[in-house]
A = this chain, B = another copy of it.
Amino acid sequence: MEDLLKEFPIVVEQPLNWGDMDMHGHINNVWFFRYIENARIAYYEAIGKYEHEQASGTSFVLASTSCTFKSALVYPDVAVVGARIDEILTDRAVMGYRVVSREHNRIAAEAQATLVSFDYAKGEKVIFPEILTQRIHALEGKSYRSKE
């Protein structure tokens, strides 16, 4: 599992709920988005996104999200979810996720979310905050500046 998630600086775990399985006997697709949301928020906390939001009024909006399902998750098991930044663009970042079954040590899903930098007071998109870019570089141990 460490191998499957070694490129993800943030990893969170979520034991599966029995009741999140649907009639097909595996975890219903919507819950994968709940798992990756938890990883996203853990990532936000790691880079001080909330303090920055308070100080600057600039936050992120979830513009889109997607998930590709690789193998079913079945209770009882633990979803181990990695999060990393895949790209930083002018006014947005793309966060990548990997959901791994702890029981089977295999990938259950790969996912992404596009996070748009947004000034709530102005009601408009803004340049992705430099300070968060720096913290992301520090957390990820690499630079995304060449991406655009």
- A residues neighboring B (CB under 8 Å): 12-15, 17-23, 25, 28-31, 33-34, 37-38, 41, 61-69, 75
Q: Which 7 A-B pairs have the closest CB atoms?
A: A66-B66, A64-B68, A30-B33, A18-B41, A19-B28, A30-B30, A30-B34
Tell me, in angstroms, the Cα distance from A63 to B14 when the chains sit together: 22
Known contacts: A22-B22, A23-B22, A23-B23. The answer to whether A62 contacts B17 by CB under 8 A is no
Residues of B within 8 A of A62 (CB): 29, 69
Contact across chains for B41 and A37 when beta carbons are under 8 A apart: no
Residues of B within 8 A of A13 (CB): 15
Tell me, in angstroms, the Cα distance from A67 to B38 when the chains sit together: 18
What distance in Å separates the Cβ of A119 from its nearest Cβ neighbour in chain B?
Answer: 16
Tell me, in angstroms, the Cα distance from A134 to B33 when the chains sit together: 33
Tell me, in angstroms, the Cα distance from A23 to B19 when the chains sit together: 8
